[in-house]
Structure 1
Amino acid sequence: MANSVAEAIIGAVVLVSAAGFALYAGQTSGHGFGQSEIPLSAKFRDANGISVGTDVRVAGIKVGSITALSLDPQSYQAQVTFTVPATLQVPDDSDVKIASEGLLGGNFLSVTPGASETMLAAGDEITNTQGSIDLLNLLMRFGTGGGSK
């Protein structure tokens, strides 16, 4: 009888510890319980260098990630869907661009908030976009004189 009580206490301690660790890990990674996100979208002529899971940043700080990429059949542009925290107020005149971490770094989606008093709601689209700059292609053009006449 004493063994089963001790085993039950040890089991309860293990379960509480595991739940505490899961809660801590979720909150420190930005995916904690009770944190809601809203989806936003943007269209680009070229979505080269980004994929599902790519960071979304405001002022260099990660605030979300890309959740879907698709082709708009009417405009033939890349439709990018991403999430930001519901607590982040994004003005409707904000800009979004595909930015690079450096010459050899990866790309991310950079949101620059505008000055409008009207905020975007879940599912809204940011229309001010700029695609990524293909540095390798620019260097090859410069090196071969492909752009000058």
Structure 2
Amino acid sequence: MALEDGVDTYTHNPRDNLAEIVVVTGGTLAEIRESAPGFVSVEFRLTPPLAKHEPTSLQYISTYYPTSNPRTEVRRAARGRAENVDMRVCFEGVKPQRAWWTVWDSYLGGTPVHTEEVEITEIGELHRFVPYIEQTVVGFRWDW
């Protein structure tokens, strides 16, 4: 939900082994640029721009290059309030052995403050829907 009139962008900061990002609905890809070490900054242009208190739905698919040191987590930070958060991680080929929905005390580094084991589906997907997140960092962790 927009906190002011004219909100027209959303920024996402994935790891720097991002291979492709495709917008499914809610906007267009505006820019990808270098960010902090180990990350890139992806800017989405929301279509249409939002009026104050107007909700939107942005859905995108990120694909990553394989690395010699595979990731074991995906985090998303909410500085303000984000409602109806639907998060999925899909694995191709090898699936993790175990996975957890996790809340951390910070985006970089940080310590898990809540962990809940989640099912890895037969097709290799982790999924969690939460009604909202606010001033928090959430995501999935897994063991190979």
Please indicate the TM-score interval, normalised by the length of the shorter structure. 0.3 to 0.5
More helix by share: 1
Greater percentage in strand: 2
Please give the TM-score of this superposition, normalised by the length of structure 2: 0.33
TM-score (norm: length of structure 1): 0.32
